[in-house]
Amino acid sequence: MPELKLEIQMLHDRLLVQLTQEEGERRSGGGIVIPATAQMARRLVWGDVLGAGTHVRNVKVGERVLFNPEDPLEVEVQGRTYLVMRERDVHATASERSEHGTGLYL
């Protein structure tokens, strides 16, 4: 049986996000290597928005969003894991260019 390709449309204020792949080890601003197994305080993570519901107002598909990884729900689609969350759970967005010209650039 051939594999079906389904289009996923997010509803209401929901976002479909894929976690940004980060390296296991990180470096602090001072150059200290922090291993992936190190216990840290609750840490926010970045993800890429792949889908947005019709009532999402401030986040667009293709932007990166900053959120708490303990809040969203996981879903598996064709062997890949994605996160589903509400727009209100997003703390910040990062896109190619901002119309307002304020904020930080990654």
pLDDT tens digits along 25-54: 566 677 777 665 665 566 788 999 999 999
Residue 47: which of 93, 105, 1 has the closest Cα? Answer: 93
Tokens 């019709």 correspond to what residue?
54
Q: Which residue has the higher pLDDT, 70 or 65?
A: 65
**pLDDT bucket at 15, cuts 50 / 70 / 90:** very high
Q: Which residue has the higher pLDDT, 19 or 21?
A: 19
Going from N- to C-terminal start, the domains of the chain cover 14-94
pTM: 0.69
Superfamily of domain 14-94 in the CATH hierarchy: GroES chaperonin (2.30.33.40)
Q: CA torsion 23→25→27→32, rounded to 10°?
A: -170
Task: Note the pLDDT of residue 91.
Answer: 92
Q: Is the pLDDT of residue 21 over 70?
A: no
